Amino acid sequence: MNIYEIGQDFDNYKFFVFKENDELNKDIWDFKGQSLASEWKGISLELFRDKRKKKDKRSDDFDASCYFSGHLIVNKRTSLLLAQKLKGQIEVLPVNVDGNSSDYYFINVLNTVNALNIESKSNEEILRMMRENNGVFNQKEIGTYIIFRDSLFDDSYYCTDKFIDFIQQNTITGLKFTYVGIAK
């Protein structure tokens, strides 16, 4: 089974970034797969605008944005599809876009597993494995999850071919999947 890191399709689609100096965003880097629903106050986002370019030809008609892996933002339609497919594995939390409540949602992946096989490997070997996108993942630990976080690299979202198939079957736009290894 192939494993991919979920990211943004920067070449074809515009994307959301965290609104600078907004108090709601101060803890964004602390999301590690724990439930956030009971204390969720939201996050503030804005569409990235490249000040160096007068005209950005990338589409702003996207279903999902993932500026940093582990910070998946989706539109309402996609949030409903994911909530149904991944029931009990994710939280769908509202976000603010440009200061207003919007129809976009943060997908908090709760599946944190010891996915990466780090047994008998030095820190240097582990980092090289991830840098070179040739990770070896534990299929037994991943089980039936099609999207998950690794307990060591918990700030990224990883997925399987089945998740990519789901995205393609539902014509969800805006994401890119980078091969990072294989599960055995």
At 37-76, the pLDDT tens digits run 888 888 888 888 777 767 778 888 899 999 887 789 999 9
Instruction: Yes or no: say if 80 and 29 are a contact pair by the CB < 8 Å rule.
Output: no
Q: How many helices (H) and strands (E) does the chain have?
A: 4, 12
User: Nearest Cα to 167, choosing from 95, 97, 13, 62?
Assistant: 62
Instruction: Point out the residues of the chain with pLDDT beneath 70.
Output: 24-25, 29, 53, 99-102
pLDDT given for residue 155 in this prediction: 86
Sign of CA dihedral 6, 7, 13, 17: positive
Report the C-alpha dihedral over residues 55, 52, 58, 24, rounded to 10 degrees: -120
Tell me what pLDDT residue 53 has: 66
pTM for the full model?
0.89
Q: What is the rounded CA–CA span in Å between residue 9 and residue 45?
A: 18
